[in-house]
């Protein structure tokens, strides 16, 4: 009876942590979407809100880290339970970094708007990569919520698409800057945004890898499984 009670208490505590992680995930998803809206239409008030929300995300990271640490110390979990907590801690770190990247995008959007540069045209350059990263982040959180290793594995391949698109954007922006030095400032800002989006894709892939680690007990980071040869099929 004591063991059963302790196990149920542990499950409840872990589920509470996972629910709060998903709340954090929802916040950073909204941050990212709002940041991209700011980049598209140049809304300084919304950009400021995205930047302020980063403080909320940071506070959630601290409280969740504390909750996970206490759970490790009190329950001393083994095997799959330990993997779950360790993976959850890493998911929290990646979500906090997604929030950081969203705040960067919002700052760039605000600066572009204040300088009066062609925000809409620059948004079109990154729209495709932003949509892919948005889908990746959403699917990664969904896979985490449902412990769906199959979904996690499927979305990992999309990171190669984002990497390819980022290289294409970078080449185009370099061309613009060489042909017209007046575009350098705005082009560099757009490059910063594209890099932030590419990093968000990386964090989404990391979350998917942690889901696979929990479900299958396999660490696929830095393996061919984690980096499928999809890039070979993409045009250069």
pLDDT single digits (tens) 98-137: 999 999 999 999 888 887 755 446 888 999 999 999 999 9
**What's the Cα-to-Cα distance from 43 to each of 87, 105, 202, rounded to whole Å?**
36, 12, 27
Question: Mean pLDDT across the stretch 227-236?
Answer: 43
CA distance 114 to 1: 65
CB 129 within 8 A of CB 194: yes
User: What pLDDT was estimated at residue 6?
Assistant: 63
pLDDT tens across 161-207, in order? 999 999 999 999 999 889 888 888 888 999 999 999 999 999 999 99
CB contact at 8 A, 50 and 106: yes
Residues ≥6 apart with Cβ < 8 Å to 225: 153
Average pLDDT, the chain: 87
Cβ pair 96, 117 in contact under 8 A: no
**Number of C-beta neighbours around residue 108 at 10 A:** 24
Q: How confident is the model at residue 229 (pLDDT cuts 50, 70, 90)?
A: very low
Residue 233: which pLDDT band, with cuts at 50, 70 and 90? Answer: very low
Instruction: Decide if 101 contacts 195 (C-beta within 8 A).
Output: no
List pLDDT tens digits, range 31-67: 999 999 999 988 889 999 999 999 999 999 999 999 9
How many C-beta atoms lie closer than 10 Å to residue 3's C-beta?
7
Residue 45 to residue 202: CA distance in whole angstroms: 28
* Joined tokens for residue 196: 């932030």
Quote the CA–CA distance of 215 and 78 in Å, as a whole number.
15
Residue by residue, what is the 3-state secondary structure of 41-89? HCCHHHHHHHHHHHHHHHHHHHHHHHHHHHHHHHHCCCHHHHHHHHHHH
Whether pTM > 0.75 for this model: the answer is yes
- Write out pLDDT tens, residues 131-174: 999 999 999 999 999 999 999 999 998 999 999 999 999 999 99
Confidence class for position 93, pLDDT limits 50, 70, 90: very high
The burial of 2, by beta-carbon neighbours within 10 Å (0-12 exposed, 13-18 middle, 19 or more buried), is given as exposed
| Model pLDDT, residue 65 | 95
Question: Alpha carbon 28 to chain centroid distance?
Answer: 8
């Amino acid at each position: 009876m004591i063991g059963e009670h302790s196990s149920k208490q542990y499950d409840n505590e872990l589920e509470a942590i996972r629910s709060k992680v998903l709340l954090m995930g929802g916040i950073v998803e909204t941050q990212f979407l709002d940041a991209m809206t700011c980049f598209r239409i140049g809304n300084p008030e919304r950009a400021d809100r995205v930047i302020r929300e980063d403080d909320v995300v940071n506070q959630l990271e601290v409280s969740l880290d504390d909750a996970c640490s206490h759970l490790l110390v009190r329950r001393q979990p083994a095997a799959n339970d330990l993997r779950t907590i360790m993976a959850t801690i890493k998911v929290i770190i990646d979500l906090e970094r997604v929030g950081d990247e969203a705040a960067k995008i919002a700052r760039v959007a605000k600066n572009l708007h204040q300088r009066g540069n062609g925000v809409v045209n620059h948004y079109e350059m990154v729209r495709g990569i932003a949509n892919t990263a948005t889908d990746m982040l959403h699917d990664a959180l969904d896979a985490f919520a449902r412990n769906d290793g199959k979904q996690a594995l499927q979305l990992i391949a999309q990171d190669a698409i984002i990497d390819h698109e980022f290289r294409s954007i970078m080449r185009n922006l370099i061309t613009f800057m060489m042909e017209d030095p007046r575009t350098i400032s705005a082009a560099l800002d757009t490059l910063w945004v594209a890099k932030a989006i590419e990093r968000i894709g990386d964090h989404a892939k990391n979350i998917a890898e942690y889901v696979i680690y929990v479900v299958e007990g396999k660490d696929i980071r830095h393996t061919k499984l984690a980096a499928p040869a999809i890039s070979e099929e993409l045009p250069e």
